[in-house]
Structure 1
C-alpha cells in the first residue's frame, strides 16, 4: 500500500500541525517538501494552496485544519463525546483563526508586537494554561486530543517566529503549557520529526 504523503513548503507555518500529528500518531508517511508550486502539483490544489495531503487510498485533501481533522478522526483523536468533539473544534478555531493568524500578522509587521502581550497571551495562552490545570486535557475527557496538539504547536511556534514572545511565555510562566509541550516532545515520533526538521532562512 502506498504511504500517505503530506506536501508543503520547507517551512513550519501551517504544515506544522499535520506534520506533528502524523508523527505523534506514528503514521508512516512521505514528508514531501516543496520549493514552489509548479505544474506538477497545481492541478491537485483545489484552492491553489498548500498543504496537500494524499492518503494511501489516493484521496486528496487541502487546508491544514481539514487535513488534521481527517487524520485525527481516523485515529480516535478528536474526542469521544459530542461535547468533547465540540471543544476540540472550538480550540482548533481559536488556534487557527485567532492565534496563528495574529502571530503571522505580527511577524509581517501588520500588527504591533505589543498586542501579543496585551491580547494573545492573556486571552488564549493563559486560558489554555488554566484549563489544563483544572482538567488536564483541553477537551475534557480522559485522554489527549487534537485540541491539545494544536495548542502545543501554537505554543512552540510563537516562540520560534517571535523570539520576544518566548520571554513572555516560557521558563515556568505557564507550567501546564510547559507540561503539554513536554508530553508531545517526549513522544518518539515527534522527537524524531523535530530532530530532523529542516532549518531554513525563512523563519516562518
Structure 2
C-alpha cells in the first residue's frame, strides 16, 4: 500500500459511519471499499452520478460496504456517501436503500457524532436509513429475515456478471444455508464500529470479490454436496 492509499484510508476511517445493527443480526460487514471523489462524476461502485458544488464540498467519501452474505442471498454491498466541507465538517450524507438512495443526515444533524453519521441497518437485509422506523414500513420486514431467507440464491448483477454465475444447484445450496440463519428481528439496535483492518481501496476490494465468492461456493459444496 502506497502513502496515497494510506492517507485515503485514514481519512475514510476518520469519517466512517456508525452503524446500528439489530441485536439478532447474523451478518456483519466483511470489508469496506473506499473511493474519494474530488469532483462530480460517476460512482465507482454504484449505479449513480455523484454531484456536488465544489465551493461547498471539498470531497465525497464513498464507502462500499461488503458482506459475504445477507439473509436473502450470497453477497451484499451497501453504500454510504459522506460529503466533507472545506472546513473538514460533514455537510451531507447519503446511503443506499434497496438500490435507491436516501438522505443520511437528519435535520439539525442530530445523528452526527463528531465526524461520524449514525445510520441504522435493516435487519438481515442491511439497507441503510437514519431512522429505524422506516424499516417498519416494509411489508416483508419480518418475512425477509424468516420464511424468505435465501430465496435469491447467489446474486449476480451487472457489476460482477463477467466474474461469476449461478445455477439452480448453487441457488439451492445458498437457500439451504441461509435458512439456518433465519431469525426474527428484535428491532432493538446496537452500535457497531467498522474495524480499521477491513478498510481497503475500492479497486482492491473489487479485485478480491470473485475470490470471496468462489471460497463461499466451495464451502457450500462441502456442506451440502459431499
TM value normalised by structure 2? 0.25
Q: Which has the higher helix share?
A: 1
Bigger Rg, structure 1 or 2: 2
Higher strand share goes to which structure?
2
